[in-house]
Amino acid sequence: MSTESSALPTSRRVFLKNTGTIAAATAFAGMVVPHVHAAENNTIQVALVGCGGRGGGAAANAMSVKNGPVKLVAMADVLEDRLKATYEGLSGDYSAKMDVPPERRFIGFDSYKHAMDALKPGDVVIMTTPLAFRWVHFTYAISKGLNVFMEKPLIADGPSARKMYALGEQAKAKNLKVGVGLMSRHSKSLIELHDRIQNGEIGDIILMRGYRMAGPLASAFSEKWPGTGSELLWQIRRFHSFMWASGGCFSDFYIHHIDHCCWMKNAWPVKAHAIGGRHYRGSNVDQNFDSYSVEYTFADNTKFIMDGRCMVGAVPMYHSFAHGTKGSAIIAKNGDCEPPSSIYSSQAPDRKNMTWQSKDTSSPYQNEWDSLIDAIRNDKPWNEVKRGVDASVATSMGRMAAHTGQEISWDEMVNSDHEFAPDADKFTMDSAAPVLADATGLYPVPMPGLKGRREY
């Protein structure tokens, strides 16, 4: 089952699964301005905004760092049951590091403000809602002088990418530390593999392949909205079904392989073309395809193929490879970035030709938090936003190519004007959803070739 299994009940089991460990995560040299200190008593206070599966996992990682005290002091969500379940789940193992009385548990679309108002400049806010709210919450965090951990993906459309690039620069100018949950970059196995590839152990990379193929996952398949209650909140519960909330299963599930393959190449692709379709959607009305195959092209004309599929009974595959002029590598042996990574003198991963295999088994989910807190405590430059937006743009570019049936370039993706949820900062509990079901309960779906460069 995937780490994106938000359909699972929030429980200690889920925290442990999602609490997944960089020593050398990329940090960007930022402008030098007066730095923001953690709270005077040396405790870094944390607020959790988006109390689902990953939010609980990230809060657990935050409270598990070894370099000084961290305390969870506020929680925010739009769904009371989610906040309650995560509060109770965390209380089992982490009660000594939690001080979240009922008056600091906030519900509603403005709950993020109340939770961040409970912090002091230099504390940390965790943003683990679906991506539609990332720029909204990040804007407020910057205004409050807060450090941030935010989950991937950061955007699903061009206008939001432009906003997030600008916000990332604002955060850097204020010397705020920002971690982004692309945990492959914090896997010590992948860091060593990256070093070895840079040292030429597989020659020049000419092809990479990523596969995430499984049965239906998380909330990527949705039957019709029951017609009662808030359609907006129903879509938020089922965010993998809706492009505005998550970029769909493509953005949410495939970004890890797209990110780490591009990292191995040290480049982002310049264009993508793709195929995909809704072959076995049955009575489901979500906006996803059930199969995607994207061919990314880099500036040197080398390729990266990303295949994604959610189909029952078809062969499951969940790993990634790099092929070079002198050999090949298994990047993720399994899952988003699970070890061991390995190198071969041949193009096939035959054991007899294996020249290196990684040994580290530490958790990239914990490593990313250890590094973020170290950067805060020791005032080291730490801002993963540009890289996080770049990975999200590369992912969106492949998705858009599949959904439109057009070749999409990097510049077209960044500069596209289709904003999926422009009013995400104005939502209330009574707001209409950004996409509405028609009289028959159907939502607009991508129709390659028929809707020009609009995805739906």
Ligand X SMILES: NC(=O)c1ccc[n+]([C@@H]2O[C@H](COP(=O)([O-])OP(=O)(O)OC[C@H]3O[C@@H](n4cnc5c(N)ncnc54)[C@H](O)[C@@H]3O)[C@@H](O)[C@H]2O)c1
Total residues at interface with ligand X (CB under 6 A) = 31
DSSP 301: S
- Other C-beta atoms lying within 10 Å of the C-beta of residue 335: 16
Site for ligand X, residues 29 to 58, rule: CB under 6 A: 49-55
Site for ligand X contains 339 (CB under 6 A): no
Single residue of 123, 157, 201, 252 touching ligand X by CB under 6 A: 252
308 near ligand X (CB under 6 A)? no
Sequence-separated (6 or more) residues with CB below 8 Å from residue 202: 196, 322, 323, 324, 325, 326, 327, 328, 329, 343
CA distances from 445 to 239, 248, 274, 420, 456 (A): 15, 11, 16, 13, 5
* Chain centre distance of CA 190: 18
Stretch that binds ligand X, among 30-38, 128-136, 163-171, 414-422 (CB under 6 A): 128-136
Site for ligand X in 160-219 (CB under 6 A): 181, 183
* Residue 54 Cβ vs ligand X, minimum distance, rounded to whole Å: 3
CB 277 within 8 A of CB 289: yes
Residue 211 CB partners (closer than 8 Å, separation 6+): 257, 306, 307, 308, 317, 318, 319, 320
Q: Please state, in angstroms and rounded to a whole number, the distance separating the CA atoms of residues 414 and 166.
A: 13
> Hey, what are 395's tokens?
């992912």
Q: Does 434 bind ligand X (CB under 6 A)?
A: no
Q: CA 29 to CA 31: how far, in whole Å? A: 7
DSSP letter for each residue of 239-292: GGG-HHHHSHHHHHHHHHHHHHHHHHHTS--SEEEEEEE-SS-TT--SS--SEE
- Residue with smaller CB distance to ligand X, 6 or 328: 6
SS3 373: helix
Name the minimum Å distance from CB 356 to ligand X. Answer: 26
Comparing every residue's Cβ against ligand X, the nearest one is: 52
Least spacing, CB of residue 137 vs ligand X, in Å: 7
Decide: is 151 part of the binding site for ligand X (CB under 6 A): yes
Least distance to ligand X, CB of residue 193, Å: 19
Q: Which of 27, 79, 213, 447 binds ligand X (CB under 6 A)?
A: 79
Task: Extract the tokens encoding 284.
Answer: 């489901």
Least distance (Å) between residue 35 CB and ligand X = 27
Q: Which of 45, 128, 291, 392 binds ligand X (CB under 6 A)?
A: 128
- Minimum Å gap between C-beta 4 and ligand X is 4
- Say whether residue 77 binds ligand X (CB under 6 A): yes
Q: Which of 21, 45, 61, 129 touches ligand X by CB under 6 A?
A: 129
Residues forming the site for ligand X (CB under 6 A) = 3-4, 6, 18, 49-55, 76-79, 82, 109, 111-112, 128-131, 133, 151-152, 181, 183, 236, 252, 336
